[in-house]
Amino acid sequence: MGVIPKTLKTLTLELQRLPGIGPKSARRIAYFLFTLPQDRLSFLGESFHNLKKNVTVCTFCHMLADTNPCDICGDATREVKTLCVVADHMDVYAIERTAGYKGMYYVLGGLLSPVKGHGPEEVDTKGLLKRIAQLKKLQRGGEKLEVIFALSPTTEGQTTSLYMREEIRNEFGEDVSLSKVAVGISVGTDIDYVDTYTLQEALKGRGSL
């Protein structure tokens, strides 16, 4: 006879498929779920069941949302003069938490990574160019649309930024303003603990006092 009941073992194996969940964590979660009341388990099961059914993808920005268009793209108070390009949905959530950005977004859905076999076909170039064209039509008084790249300062992020910038320049020339988020020293960090690359980028992105 097995020490672990078959149902718990099956659940444990399925939980291990989730990112960041190892065998021990999966077992702890499985046993914790067993301790929950049945109505709570039923609610969780219903949430899983409705995940694909009720969540949609915004046609304009590719964000996961309850409606199409999403709340951001459908918000008339958002600024249409800036478009922030991010790798995935979690990046949008992080930026929105700052409450400092009021423009639009575009989710690429991934980054270029030759090492992992992620080539240009893995990045939604056509979708981004289409979104830029849509927003350009909304600019007023000769104002340029600013496309902000908020990609991670990794080799993959830099490669993707360079590739997408070339694609945008080929399509729109100088009619679109391109920028990237600053990379620098975290608040509360001593300079002598900062790596060389971050310090170089911080010096390049320095501002006036």
Averaged pLDDT score across all residues of the chain: 88
Q: Looking at residue 98, what is its pLDDT?
A: 87
pLDDT class of 116 with cuts at 50, 70, 90? low
> For residue 166, which amino acid is it?
E
How far is it, in rounded angstroms, from Cα 209 to Cα 198?
20
pLDDT class of 115 with cuts at 50, 70, 90? low
Question: CATH for 6-54, among 3.40.50.2300, 2.60.120.620, 1.10.630.10, 1.10.8.420?
Answer: 1.10.8.420
pLDDT tens for each residue of 180-193: 888 777 777 887 87
pLDDT tens for each residue of 7-60: 999 999 999 999 999 999 999 999 999 999 999 999 999 999 999 899 999 999
Residue 1 has pLDDT above 60, yes or no: no
Cβ-based neighbours of 21, under 8 Å, separated by 6 or more: 15, 29
Domain map of the chain by residue range?
6-54, 79-180
- Looking only at the bridges linking them, the beta strands covering 82-86 and 104-107 are parallel
Question: CATH for 79-180, among 3.20.20.220, 3.40.50.720, 3.10.28.10, 3.40.1360.10?
Answer: 3.40.1360.10
pLDDT tens for each residue of 156-188: 888 888 889 999 999 999 999 999 888 777 777
pLDDT class of 114 with cuts at 50, 70, 90? low
> How many CA atoms lie less than 13 Å away from 28 in the CB half-sphere?
5
pLDDT tens for each residue of 55-83: 999 999 999 999 999 999 999 999 999 99
pLDDT class of 146 with cuts at 50, 70, 90? very high
Compute CA distances 9 → 14, 32, 44, whole Å: 9, 13, 19
